[in-house]
Chains A and B, each alone.
Chain A
Amino acid sequence: MKLALGPVLYYWTREALLDFYAGVADSAADIVYLGEVVCARRHHLRLDDWLALASDLSASGKEVVLSSQALIESESDLRTLRRIVANGDFTVEANDMGAVRLLAGRVPFVAGPHLNIYNGETLAWFARLGASRFVLPLELSRDILRELQSARPAGMQTEVFAYGRMPLAFSARCFTARHHNLPKDDCQFRCLEDADGLALQTRDKAAFLTLNGIQTQSALVYDLSDSIGELRSLGVDVVRLSPQSRNMIEIIESFRERCAGRPGASLEGLRVAPPCNGYWHGVPGMEYRTPT
């Protein structure tokens, strides 16, 4: 199984991003997804910067994929999307059907986690359009994955989101700006303050969700590190780890060991929050089941 580092879902400074990817270049990750998936207003790295970073990482031996924005609302979003699709060098992860229209029948692409590939027929349709890999929707279980794998088209790779706070929802509204009583159009980029998102608790102080601009994430960290054997036996090709602001290189290393069949360092103390894995077991996503 290959290890993929998903796109950074938060807004980090240019310096923080470049530092992070300098570390990634020397890490055990095989595949690196790059680009801004959440909010078009974030601009510390522009597309040209992402492309330069892609070239550097590629020269370090990484397979680089450019991830496209999940919620595409405006003509300006579409212009960026067209430039990503036309980059000529790197595979694109489509996270919206608009991106699929621009890619289908032209170049192989990755069908991202937000395209809603829930069943074998839809997976087969994406294969015919030219998808070479698909990312399982987060809310699907291992039992559904087993069914999808049994009907998987030839040449299609399967990727599973296996670590990180889960992107559960997208809105037109920016919840970070709302928290600071700012309009979205004048958000003052306050999401820069939250390197791993802004914690939302219930009124009895339970960690519940994480606000990340227009995206809402789980508070808990999805963690399939103890189910790597199961992922392998299900024929999963790629395991996706979603970046957090600290300890990421150690987490990648632990997964590398586990993928090689060795124990790997414990992730206790490395995660930014306690783990959950309910979706994998077919129960509410926030639950944690001890792997069998």
Chain B
Amino acid sequence: MSVPELVCPAGNLPSLKVAVDNGADWVYMGLKDDTNARNFAGLNFDAASARAGLRYAHAAGAKMLLAINTYPQGLASPRWQRAIDSAAELGIDAVILADAGLMNYAAERHSQLRLHLSVQTSATNYEAINFYHERFGIARAVLPRVLSLAQVADVVKNTPVPIEVFGFGSLCVMVEGRCALSSYVTGESPNTRGVCSPAKAVRWEKHGDILDVRLNGILIDRFAAAENAGYPTLCKGRFNVEDETYYAIEEPSSLNAMALLPELANIGIAAIKIEGRQRGPAYVAAVTRIWRAAIDAHAQNPAGFSVHADWANGLARVAEGQQHTLGAYHRKWK
């Protein structure tokens, strides 16, 4: 049985501080540009705030990860390579990379720099993970949110690489790193620009009591007056298939795997990741505090573990959408 480390998002310095204060073992962040997969206006770190964040984390015994997990295109790699150089110079504890060329660069130039395999690498099986391990010495791999618990267990059993899985937050339905839906509609995708369904392409239109939401002109959903209108992530809208209107790809629900904590610990998961660098400090504080409590409670008394009602309520209050799902961990979701 493992005691999974808790890996929490930091979209800015205040979020980083509350993550550390509430018991994160690791915090992950990105630079203020398109080298990372949450390239949103007003988010992320420059060198000064990264240095301040690192001091804060280290003073509390936490570690800091820098996500450099978009794909440089054409001849653009040098700018991403400079981000890796900066991480090494700053003394960041590990970088999260997706692109093989960048991993190769990091392994050759900064052999002391610890590498984590980003979820954007789409590594869903141990052959893939072991390959990155052999070639670049990756120290951890984050699994895409598409595997069932049994499949996760099979990966863990067959790789020397410690495995990190998503525990909570917004849910990608598609294999991360292999989804171009956003660039199909808007020209910008997670792989190329670090965004999905970018806000600048969103348009809300009121027609009487009806509220339409479009992404670069494509109608993602239509809300009646009584309905909650959520952000138009393009795979979470209602569409028509054979004259039936429904959430054809996925409901606007978020992942919550807390009930599976005992299974994840039994499997030997090394770390649990909380999604949400785009969310504010209140979200980060609440989710970190609750997951810290749950992981500690489980470690102290595995047999007596259950999800406390106030944890569940606390997480429900900050979740995106009103629904929770176990996602692909639960085979029936597929």
Q: A interface vs B, CB < 8 Å?
A: 70-75, 77-78, 81, 96-102, 104, 114, 116, 118-126, 137-140, 143-144, 146-148, 150-151, 166, 168-175, 178-179, 183-185, 198-206, 208-209, 211, 216, 218, 278-279, 282-286
A271 to chain B, nearest CB (A): 17
Known: A116-B191, A139-B192, A286-B185. A170 touches B241 (CB 8 A): no
Verify B124–A71 contact, CB threshold 8 A.
Answer: yes
Known: A114-B178, A120-B75, A139-B180. A172 touches B242 (CB 8 A): no
Give A254 to B238 CA distance when docked, in angstroms: 38
Which chain B positions have C-beta within 8 A of A211? 241, 248
Chain B: interface secondary structure?
mixed
> Can you list 21 A-B contacts with CB-CB less than 8 angstroms, sorted by A residue number?
A96-B128, A98-B125, A118-B72, A119-B71, A119-B77, A125-B100, A139-B191, A146-B74, A148-B74, A150-B75, A166-B180, A173-B249, A173-B333, A202-B220, A203-B219, A203-B240, A206-B218, A208-B239, A211-B241, A284-B186, A286-B185
Which chain A positions have C-beta within 8 A of B179? 168-170
- Beyond contacts A78-B125, A285-B183: 16 other A-B pairs, Cβ-Cβ < 8 A, are A71-B175, A78-B127, A81-B127, A118-B72, A140-B73, A147-B74, A168-B184, A172-B146, A175-B249, A179-B242, A185-B331, A203-B239, A205-B240, A211-B248, A278-B184, A284-B185
Which single member of A75, A202, A209 contacts B154 (CB below 8 Å)?
A: A75
Q: Which of A100, A119, A185, A199 counts the most B-chain CB atoms under 10 A from its CB?
A: A119
Which chain A positions have C-beta within 8 A of B245? 203
Residue B36 interfacial (CB < 8 Å): no
Which chain A positions have C-beta within 8 A of B98? 116
Closest to B105 in A: A121
Known: A122-B101, A125-B100, A170-B175. A201 touches B240 (CB 8 A): yes
Which chain A positions have C-beta within 8 A of B184? 139, 166, 168, 218, 278-279, 284-286
Closest to B81 in A: A121
Which chain A positions have C-beta within 8 A of B134? 101
Verify B221–A172 contact, CB threshold 8 A.
Answer: no
Q: B interface vs A, CB < 8 Å?
A: 71-77, 98-102, 104-105, 121-128, 130-132, 134, 146-148, 151, 154, 173-175, 177-181, 183-187, 189, 191-192, 216, 218-222, 235, 238-242, 244-245, 248-250, 328, 331-334
Give A174 to B146 CA distance when docked, in angstroms: 11
Verify B128–A101 contact, CB threshold 8 A.
Answer: yes
Give A239 to B238 CA distance when docked, in angstroms: 36
Give A75 to B76 CA distance when docked, in angstroms: 37
Verify A73–B151 contact, CB threshold 8 A.
Answer: yes
Verify B75–A119 contact, CB threshold 8 A.
Answer: yes
Which single member of B122, B131, B187, B189 contacts A100 (CB below 8 Å)?
A: B131
A114 to chain B, nearest CB (A): 6
Which chain B positions have C-beta within 8 A of A99? 127
Closest to B245 in A: A203
Q: Which of B74, B131, B147, B173 counts the most A-chain CB atoms under 10 A from its CB?
A: B74
Which chain B positions have C-beta within 8 A of A118? 71-74, 99, 191-192
Give A175 to B334 CA distance when docked, in angstroms: 9
Verify A172–B334 contact, CB threshold 8 A.
Answer: yes
Q: Which of A116, A138, A148 counts the most B-chain CB atoms under 10 A from its CB?
A: A116
Which chain A positions have C-beta within 8 A of B240? 200-203, 205
Verify B219–A284 contact, CB threshold 8 A.
Answer: no
Verify B178–A170 contact, CB threshold 8 A.
Answer: yes
Known: A139-B180, A198-B241, A198-B242. A179 touches B73 (CB 8 A): no
Verify A119–B181 contact, CB threshold 8 A.
Answer: no
Verify B249–A124 contact, CB threshold 8 A.
Answer: no
Give A205 to B124 CA distance when docked, in angstroms: 35
Known: A169-B181, A175-B248. A97 touches B123 (CB 8 A): yes
Verify B332–A119 contact, CB threshold 8 A.
Answer: no
Give A172 to B218 CA distance when docked, in angstroms: 25
Give A203 to B174 CA distance when docked, in angstroms: 22
Closest to A146 in B: B74
Which chain B positions have C-beta within 8 A of A202? 218-220, 239-240
Which single member of B76, B189, B331 contacts A119 (CB below 8 Å)?
A: B76
Verify A199–B334 contact, CB threshold 8 A.
Answer: no
Closest to A114 in B: B178
Closest to B120 in A: A116
The 8 closest A-B pairs by CB, nearest first: A147-B74, A121-B101, A98-B127, A172-B146, A122-B101, A101-B131, A97-B128, A118-B71
B334 to chain A, nearest CB (A): 4
Give A258 to B233 CA distance when docked, in angstroms: 39
Which chain B positions have C-beta within 8 A of A98? 125-128, 131
Closest to B147 in A: A73
Verify A203–B101 contact, CB threshold 8 A.
Answer: no
Which chain B positions have C-beta within 8 A of A146? 74
Verify A200–B248 contact, CB threshold 8 A.
Answer: yes
Q: Which of A183, A279, A282, A284 counts the most B-chain CB atoms under 10 A from its CB?
A: A284
Which chain B positions have C-beta within 8 A of A282? 187
Give A98 to B179 CA distance when docked, in angstroms: 19
Give A218 to B183 CA distance when docked, in angstroms: 11
Verify A204–B74 contact, CB threshold 8 A.
Answer: no
Which single member of A72, A140, A199, A216 contacts B125 (CB below 8 Å)?
A: A72
